[in-house]
């Protein structure tokens, strides 16, 4: 009797082990340096989603890329070769994604992007192992271009001189029908915009569109507000998101910006997410946190349907995107990039905290411009 009991317990143990195999997820993100705010929001939302799922079989390997491509590449190699991760995710910046993603997916490791969406990975070089849960880089800017047609005829446009900056202005121009009062590329990491603001003043523009992520946008907005130039500004949501609004201050009030997510988006998943994030971290979540939360929930949903060891079944489960997105409806296009709404938000003050509220929908079920070139 005793022996039978022992064997049955043993076999039970074995059975449960075989059923719930451990899953290892590598998270490479920016946790130090000037861009750390974005990566920390990404990491915090991701770990919170995993914690709330109660899934004990998931192991996270989280490392800091310091916003440097060469470090990100080394970390990816280490995670694939020695940690033997099943999935990789976490990268915020496009130049780092370009350094890591092609090599990772070539080794048949699945990569899920919680933020960067460089155009080079969306078109002819799309890959069945690469899932972008965030957006294609052009999307936010396209939405602002579309929205600008309503009010403006002569816009001055401005972005840093690097791939995502060029994607940004290309995206804006794709939908904007008015005339350009000027098109300026600034240095990456530039902190003083006096020379550019002087040109805006002189250009006779009726509006300004700028894409300057992180600290660059904070500097620009503060200097712009003080310069005496009254031309209205607009930009993608990155420049007016929760991570930077506090530092810009009231200068941002009333500015229109585009995003696929906002904390007032009316759906249950989003309410739950905003509440959970606020309770856990005592601050409001950003776009990066929202996208990362979706990435985590997409992985969890796919894991409940298929084993991560069965690559094809798991990829099919990811592609089905059968999860409750904080952005409401969420579907993958043929190139594994989302088809989603893009909204226009306005910066407002609630309970003395600057935040955004949705004022319009620029696109419904928007697809990126590169999907046709993807042979999937």
* Residues engaged in binding other proteins (CB under 8 A): 31-34, 36-37, 40, 161, 166, 169, 180, 182-187, 189, 191-192, 194-196, 198-199, 201-202, 215, 218-219, 222-223, 226-228, 243-244, 246-249
Closest CA to 264 of 341, 326, 213: 326
Closest CA to 171 of 216, 196, 203, 136: 136
Closest CA to 326 of 357, 366, 349, 296: 296
Residue 58 or 200 having the CB closest to other proteins:
200
3-state SS class at 147: helix
What CA–CA distance (Å, rounded) separates 236 from 234?
7
Q: How far is the CB of 359 from other proteins (least distance, A)?
A: 25
Residue 192 or 268 having the CB closest to other proteins:
192
Q: How far is the CB of 205 from other proteins (least distance, A)?
A: 14
What does residue 339 show for φ and ψ, rounded to 5 degrees? -105, 120
Q: How far is the CB of 22 from other proteins (least distance, A)?
A: 31
Residue 184 or 306 having the CB closest to other proteins:
184
Residue 218 or 234 having the CB closest to other proteins:
218
Residue 142 or 196 having the CB closest to other proteins:
196
Q: How far is the CB of 243 from other proteins (least distance, A)?
A: 6
Residue 64 or 294 having the CB closest to other proteins:
64
What CA–CA distance (Å, rounded) separates 193 from 216?
9
Q: How far is the CB of 165 from other proteins (least distance, A)?
A: 9
Q: How far is the CB of 244 from other proteins (least distance, A)?
A: 7
Look at the chain and count its residues. 376
3-state SS class at 325: strand
What CA–CA distance (Å, rounded) separates 46 from 294?
8
Q: How many CA atoms lie within 13 A of 180 on its CB side?
A: 15
Q: In the block, which residue shows the tokens 């952005």?
A: 327
């Amino acid at each position: 009797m005793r022996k039978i009991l022992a064997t049955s317990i043993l076999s039970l143990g074995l059975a449960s082990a075989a059923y719930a195999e451990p899953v290892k997820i590598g998270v490479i993100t920016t946790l130090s340096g000037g861009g750390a705010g974005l990566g920390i929001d990404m990491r915090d939302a991701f770990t919170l989603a995993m914690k709330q799922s109660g899934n004990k079989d998931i192991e996270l390997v989280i490392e800091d890329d310091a916003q440097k491509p060469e470090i990100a590449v080394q970390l990816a190699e280490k995670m694939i070769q020695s940690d033997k991760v099943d999935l990789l995710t976490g990268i915020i910046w496009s130049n780092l994604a370009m350094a890591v993603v092609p090599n990772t997916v070539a080794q048949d490791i699945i990569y899920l992007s919680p933020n960067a969406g460089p155009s080079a990975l969306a078109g002819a070089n799309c890959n069945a192992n690469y899932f972008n849960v965030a957006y294609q880089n052009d999307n936010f800017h396209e939405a602002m271009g579309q929205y600008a047609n309503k009010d403006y005829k002569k816009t001055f446009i401005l972005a840093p001189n690097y791939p995502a900056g060029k994607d940004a202005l290309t995206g804006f121009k794709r939908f904007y029908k008015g005339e350009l009062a000027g098109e300026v590329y600034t240095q990456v990491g530039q902190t003083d915009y006096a020379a550019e603001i002087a040109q805006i003043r002189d250009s006779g523009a009726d509006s300004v569109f700028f894409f300057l992520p992180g600290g660059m946008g904070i500097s620009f907005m503060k200097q712009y507000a003080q310069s005496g130039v009254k031309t209205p500004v607009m930009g993608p949501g990155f420049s007016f998101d929760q991570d930077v609004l506090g530092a810009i201050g009231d200068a941002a009030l009333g500015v229109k910006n585009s995003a696929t997510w906002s904390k007032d988006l009316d759906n249950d998943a989003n309410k739950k997410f905003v509440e959970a994030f606020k309770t856990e971290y005592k601050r409001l979540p950003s776009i990066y946190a929202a996208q990362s939360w979706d990435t985590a929930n997409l992985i969890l949903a796919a894991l409940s349907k298929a084993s991560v060891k069965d690559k094809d079944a798991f990829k099919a489960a990811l592609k089905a995107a059968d999860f409750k997105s904080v952005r409401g409806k969420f579907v993958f296009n043929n190139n594994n990039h989302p088809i989603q709404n893009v909204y226009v938000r306005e910066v407002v003050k609630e309970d003395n905290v600057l935040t955004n509220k949705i004022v319009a929908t620029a696109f419904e079920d928007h697809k990126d411009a590169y999907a046709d070139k993807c042979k999937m």
